[in-house]
Amino acid sequence: MSQATIRGALTVGMGVVACAIGAVCLSAGGLLHEPEEVVEVGWCGVVSTPVAQEAELPELASEEMARYAAGEALFRGNCAQCHAVLDRVVGPALAGVTKRRPEKWITQWVKNSAKVVASGDSYAVKLYADYDQQQMPSFDMSDQEIKDILVYIEVEQGTGAVARN
């Protein structure tokens, strides 16, 4: 092999290594966020450094925590006398409710369960019968407040985005 061939092979080899590093950085950093700092990696193009991404995570988590805290307060103040997340009390355990029913249904139910039963909704009619026709009170809550309660339930049952402390 001539000098030129060896040098050529080395250059290609370095390029492959640089690409591998670039790919690792890309996958570690995630591709969703706008990078704050960029480094050039050979001819593989521009990749973001993983360090630049970390700043975004606490922001998301604190948003989720705020909703959890709001949901917990609403739940304790309005629901806890009849519901627990994991145990049946007066009403059913609410763990898994977002899998059993669509959010829209839950929202309508919390606002006015009697109306959902009266509409003939078969799930509601059966539930109402199963709980000895005990009517749940209506709550004058916003969709957002009900969503916050659902965030609280999901975290408590262990499937929320933020693990419980």
Give the residues lining the site for ligand HEC (CB under 6 A). 78-79, 81-83, 90-92, 94, 97, 100-101, 106, 109-110, 113, 127-128, 131, 134-137, 139, 149
Find the shortest distance in angstroms from Cβ 86 to ligand HEC: 13
Find the shortest distance in angstroms from Cβ 159 to ligand HEC: 16
Residue number, 28 or 123, with CB nearest to ligand HEC: 123
Find the shortest distance in angstroms from Cβ 48 to ligand HEC: 41
Find the shortest distance in angstroms from Cβ 144 to ligand HEC: 13
Residue number, 49 or 111, with CB nearest to ligand HEC: 111
- DSSP letters for the chain: --HHHHHHHHHHHHHHHHHHHHHHHHHHH-SSSPPSSEEE-TTS-EEE-HHHHHTHHHHHHHHHHHHHHHHHHHHHHHTTTT--SSS-SSS---TTHHHHS-HHHHHHHHH-HHHHHHTT-HHHHHHHHHTTTPPPPP----HHHHHHHHHHHHHHTT-SSS---
Residue number, 47 or 85, with CB nearest to ligand HEC: 85
Residue number, 48 or 157, with CB nearest to ligand HEC: 157
Residue number, 55 or 86, with CB nearest to ligand HEC: 86
Find the shortest distance in angstroms from Cβ 66 to ligand HEC: 19
Whole-angstrom distance, CA of residue 97 vs CA of residue 106: 8
DSSP bridge partners of 40: 46
